[in-house]
Chains A and B, each alone.
Chain A
Amino acid sequence: MMLSAALFMIGVIGVMVRKNIIIIFMSIELILNAVNINLVAFSNQLHNAIGQVFAVFVIAVAAAEAAVGLGIILAFYRNKETVNIDEMNLMKW
Chain B
Amino acid sequence: MAQAIAFYVLAAFILGFAVLVVSTKDTVHSVLFLVLDFLFVAALYVLLGAPFLAAIQILVYAGGIVVLYLFVVMLVNLKRAPEAHQDPHRRTKLGFGLSAAVLLELCAIAVFSNAQPAPAAAATNALAAMPVSGNTEQVGWLLYTSYLIPFEIASMLLLVAMIGAIVLAKREL
Direct contact of A and B (CB under 8 A): yes
* Of the residues A10, A30, A70, contact of B72 by C-beta under 8 Å: A70
Task: Evaluate contact between B161 and A65: CB separation under 8 angstroms.
Answer: yes
Please give the number of chain B residues whose Cβ is less than 8 angstroms from any Cβ of chain A in the complex.
73
In the complex, what distance in Å separates the CA atom of A82 from the CA atom of B34?
Answer: 22
- Interface residues of B: mostly helix, strand, loop or mixed? helix
Question: Which A residues fall within an 8 A CB radius of B?
Answer: 1, 3, 5-14, 16-20, 22-23, 25-27, 29-30, 33, 36-37, 40-41, 43-44, 46-50, 52-53, 55-57, 59-68, 70-75, 77-78, 83-84, 86
Task: Evaluate contact between B50 and A40: CB separation under 8 angstroms.
Answer: yes
In the complex, what distance in Å separates the CA atom of A26 from the CA atom of B31?
Answer: 8
Query: For window 94-115 of chain B, which residues contact chain A by CB distance below 8 Å?
Result: 94-96, 98-99, 102-103, 106, 110
In the complex, what distance in Å separates the CA atom of A68 from the CA atom of B158?
Answer: 10
Q: Is B36 an interface residue, CB under 8 A from the partner?
A: no
Task: Evaluate contact between A16 and B76: CB separation under 8 angstroms.
Answer: no
A87 to chain B, nearest CB (A): 10
Contacts A20-B27, A49-B135 hold; do A73 and B72 have CB atoms under 8 A apart? yes
Total CB contacts across the A-B interface at under 8 A: 187
Task: Evaluate contact between A74 and B27: CB separation under 8 angstroms.
Answer: no
Find chain B residues with CB under 8 A from A17 CB: 22, 91-92, 95-96
- Interface residues of A: mostly helix, strand, loop or mixed? helix
In the complex, what distance in Å separates the CA atom of A44 from the CA atom of B54?
Answer: 13
Task: Evaluate contact between B102 and A44: CB separation under 8 angstroms.
Answer: no
In the complex, what distance in Å separates the CA atom of A72 from the CA atom of B78?
Answer: 18
